[in-house]
Amino acid sequence: MILLCGIPSETPLSMVRDELDAIGEPLVMFNQREVARTDIWFDVGLGGVVGELQLGDRRYPLQDFAGVYNRMMDDQLLPELRGEPPASQAREHARTLHETLAAWLEIANTRVVNRARAGGSNFSKPYQAQLIRRAGFQVPETLITNDPALAAEFLASHPRVVYKSMSGNRSIVTLLEASEIERLSSIRWCPVQFQAYVEGTNVRVHTIDKEVFATAILTDAADYRYAGDSAHPREVEPYELLPSIAAQCVELARDLGLAFAGIDLKITPDGNVFCFEVNPCPAFSFYEAHTEQPIAHAVARYLSCDGHG
Amino acid sequence: MTADVLVTALRWEHRLSSADVTARVTLADGRVIDTDRTRGVLNRLVALPDTHLRLATPADRDYARQEFLALFLSWLQTLPGPILNRPTPQGLSGPWLHDAEWACLATNAGLPTNPFHQATADGNGGPSELERRPIKTVVVVADKAIGSGAPACILEGSRQLARAVGVALLEISFYETWSSPWTFAAASPLPDMRLGGKELLASLVTALGGSN
């Protein structure tokens, strides 16, 4: 039996649920929006980890779950808690429930896609870049500084430079224009990450255990996630990775402890492979919708232990 | 170096490329911390102060706080030589784990551990057992376990626990129960250094590459 956690209508979660249904794998959905009717407990002892999840009137032993797909959103942002005071009983219950569930996911003797601890490196892109580098990928030349003069020098020494957040905060990757040099004085307050822009083809690689799906995103936008308008058209198509690069992606995800990963590559015209980031909670539905690559099916098969060692 | 001094550094220059990773931090008093000149780090950073951001809007302050944390995680990882402890995404000076994880890891390391229980019904999400009163401590420094009066199996279990977590420096607290005079209570990557006395100090110096 597989446990799915999140909002059932969320596209990646619903796609995996459909695939689990299609292969006949029994599943249980923890709908976060029904948090008030949900309880959980677990024990850790010499016999391992045992516990129970109660959804409404139904009770499920935690040890019966062979796999868990976690797409949970921040519980404090749930619509059901809108208008609740910060320390209300409903908020406290939601917090305690999610903390207990999250604690169990870290120690559960089951397949978890993905454990929070494994995804931690994504909170610091330069930290993660050091791990990516160790895995043998090239990483773009990067300067993090609060010194406007150093930033200006970096801008002058590269044809094109982008800036983006260092942390897990989502930011739009933006080209730094020479006309913005005057604005650089504001970086004194908080160091900023600048990166040499790498020309080439954006490739998003999804790894599920040892399976690999590569998708090319063809656009001239600095951040392909925000392309697709008339100024920066975007095309998305399946991409064939060299077997050695595919193996390297699988190894990187494994090193990070990620059963399912979204790896952002850029492949330059002369064949160099740069790796920018590894997303521990990839919203793969966009890529599957454009290419029909069976990513949700692979996640479902992994969760149900079908064909994965 | 205190966190206050570091977070208000005059100049940060942290570079990454396929060829190299370097960092050079110039402090307000002119001192420089350079990856080329550092040969060991005793890392006691837990949180980063944000008083220098107090004039920013709440949204900007929150953004900057996360950016600084991301920077420090990467910078500490860059420093060469022994680092006690290496930073992790779960804590700047080593992983701060949930009690349930510590209980699992301690059990696997062979340390006597009382059953751990957590439930939404308990209200606070924490363990429901009676208040724990740690009364004995073992500190592990670079695979050496120091604990006055601790039996060999407890010292070995403590070493195993530090290895399992991947930290060089770990404080493990124990309390006495009817089943074992040394029952695992808690662990922290930020030991109280006073507990280990001169033996701990000597071990630290050795671990950091100094002569003892």
Task: Say whether B169 sits in a helix, a strand or coil.
Answer: strand
pLDDT of residue A308: 53
**C-beta neighbour count of B13 within 10 angstroms:** 19
B75 pLDDT more than 60: yes
Residues of A in contact with B73 (CB under 8 A): 123-124, 127
For helices A11-22 and A295-303, what crossing angle results, to 10°? 60
Q: Which residue of A has its CA nearest to B55?
A: A189
Confidence of residue B128 (pLDDT cuts 50, 70, 90): very low
How far is it between the farthest Cα atoms of chain B? 57
Contacts of residues B95-99 at CB distance under 8 Å and 24 or more positions apart, as own/partner, are B95/A117, B95/B165, B95/B166, B95/B167, B95/B189, B96/B188, B96/B189, B97/A106, B97/B165, B97/B187, B98/A102, B98/A103, B98/A106, B99/A103, B99/B126, B99/B127, B99/B186
**C-beta neighbour count of B30 within 10 angstroms:** 7
Distances (CA, A) of A255 to A117, B83, B165: 13, 21, 16
Q: Which residue of A has its CA nearest to B75?
A: A127
pLDDT of residue B102: 96
Residues of A in contact with B121 (CB under 8 A): 39, 41
Residues of B in contact with A102 (CB under 8 A): 98
pLDDT of residue B125: 43
Average pLDDT over residues B116-139: 70
Of B70, B90, B97, the CB nearest to A127: B70
Task: Say whether A154 sits in a helix, a strand or coil.
Answer: helix
- B116 CB within 8 Å of a chain A CB: yes
User: Per the structure block, which two tokens stand in for A141?
Assistant: 């030349």
Query: What distance in Å separates the CA atoms of residue B96 and residue B34, rounded to the nearest whole number?
Result: 28
Contact B77 A130 (CB under 8 A): yes
Query: What distance in Å separates the CA atoms of residue A106 and residue B105, rounded to the nearest whole number?
Result: 11
Residue B185 φ/ψ, nearest 5 degrees: -115, -50
Q: What is the pTM of this model?
A: 0.92
pLDDT of residue B126: 45
- A133 CB within 8 Å of a chain B CB: yes
Spatial contact of A242 and A250, defined as CB atoms under 8 Å apart: no
- A142 CB within 8 Å of a chain B CB: yes
Contact B66 A169 (CB under 8 A): yes
- A121 CB within 8 Å of a chain B CB: yes
- A136 CB within 8 Å of a chain B CB: no
Residues of A in contact with B18 (CB under 8 A): 133, 138-139, 141
Closest CA to B203 of B115, B138, B110, B151: B138
pLDDT of residue A180: 81
Contacts of residues B48-51 at CB distance under 8 Å and 24 or more positions apart, as own/partner, are B48/B3, B48/B6, B48/B7, B48/B72, B48/B92, B49/B3, B49/B4, B49/B7, B50/B7, B51/B4
Interface test mutation site (partner B, options A127, A132, A198, A273, max chain B beta carbons within 10 A): A127
Residues in chain A, overall count: 309
Confidence of residue B211 (pLDDT cuts 50, 70, 90): low
Contact B125 A126 (CB under 8 A): no
pLDDT of residue B107: 94
Interface test mutation site (partner B, options A42, A101, A144, max chain B beta carbons within 10 A): A144
B127 pLDDT more than 50: no
pLDDT of residue B40: 93
Distances (CA, A) of B61 to B2, B57, B95, B188: 21, 6, 25, 29
pLDDT of residue A47: 85
Average pLDDT over residues B196-202: 90
Average pLDDT over residues B92-115: 94
Task: Say whether A174 sits in a helix, a strand or coil.
Answer: strand
Q: Which value does ipTM take for this structure?
A: 0.92
Chain A residues 221-260 with CB within 8 Å of chain B: none
Min Cα distance B194 → chain A (Å) is 31
Burial of B169 (0-12, 13-18, 19+ CB in 10 A): buried
Average pLDDT, chain B: 91
Burial of A9 (0-12, 13-18, 19+ CB in 10 A): exposed
Closest CA to B100 of A101, A222, A171: A101
Residues of A in contact with B52 (CB under 8 A): 189
User: Per the structure block, which two tokens stand in for B15?
Assistant: 């570079």
Residue B183 φ/ψ, nearest 5 degrees: -105, 130
Contact A123 B63 (CB under 8 A): no
Min Cα distance A197 → chain B (Å) is 13
Strand partners, A60: A53
Min Cα distance B41 → chain A (Å) is 18
Closest CA to B33 of B14, B19, B16: B14
B207 pLDDT more than 90: yes
Residues of A in contact with B70 (CB under 8 A): 123-127, 165-168
User: For residue B79, what is the DSSP state?
Assistant: -
User: Per the structure block, which two tokens stand in for B58?
Assistant: 């709440």
Residue A196 φ/ψ, nearest 5 degrees: -65, 130
User: Within 13 Å of residue A213, how many CA atoms lie on the same side as its CB?
Assistant: 24
Q: Could you tell me how many CB contacts below 8 A there are between chain A and chain B?
A: 166
Query: What distance in Å separates the CA atoms of residue B71 and residue B58, rounded to the nearest whole number?
Result: 20
Query: What distance in Å separates the CA atoms of residue A169 and residue A124, rounded to the nearest whole number?
Result: 9
Beta-carbon contacts of residue B65 (< 8 Å; ≥ 6 apart): B48, B50, B53
Query: What distance in Å separates the CA atoms of residue B53 and residue A178, rounded to the nearest whole number?
Result: 28
Token pair 């592990």: residue: B140
pLDDT digits (tens, 9 = 90+) for A96-149: 999 999 999 999 999 999 999 999 999 999 999 999 999 999 999 999 999 999
User: Per the structure block, which two tokens stand in for B209?
Assistant: 């590459």
Min Cα distance B26 → chain A (Å) is 11
Query: What distance in Å separates the CA atoms of residue B109 and residue B105, rounded to the nearest whole number?
Result: 6
**C-beta neighbour count of A189 within 10 angstroms:** 14
Query: What distance in Å separates the CA atoms of residue A291 and residue A284, rounded to the nearest whole number?
Result: 11
Beta-carbon contacts of residue B25 (< 8 Å; ≥ 6 apart): B6, B9, B11, B12, B13, B32, B33, B34, B75
Reading chain A (309 residues) residue by residue, the pLDDT tens digits are 999 999 999 999 999 999 999 999 999 999 999 999 999 999 998 889 999 999 999 999 999 999 999 999 999 999 999 999 988 999 999 999 999 999 999 999 999 999 999 999 999 999 999 999 999 999 999 999 999 999 999 999 999 999 999 998 877 778 888 788 888 888 998 999 999 999 999 999 999 999 999 999 987 776 777 666 666 667 899 999 999 999 999 999 999 999 999 999 999 999 999 999 999 999 999 999 999 999 999 999 999 986 554
Min Cα distance A23 → chain B (Å) is 33
pLDDT digits (tens, 9 = 90+) for A19-44: 999 999 999 999 999 999 999 999 99
Query: What distance in Å separates the CA atoms of residue A173 and residue A192, rounded to the nearest whole number?
Result: 12
Closest CA to A138 of A276, A252, A43, A253: A276
Of A38, A107, A167, the CB nearest to B69: A167
Min Cα distance B73 → chain A (Å) is 6
- A153 CB within 8 Å of a chain B CB: no
pLDDT of residue A306: 66
Residues of B in contact with A103 (CB under 8 A): 98-101, 118, 125
B65 pLDDT more than 90: yes
Q: Where are the beta strands (DSSP E) in chain A?
A: 2-6, 27-31, 38-45, 48-55, 58-61, 67-70, 111-113, 142-145, 161-164, 174-176, 192-196, 201-208, 211-218, 235-238, 260-267, 273-279
pLDDT digits (tens, 9 = 90+) for B154-166: 999 999 999 999 9
Contact B66 A145 (CB under 8 A): no
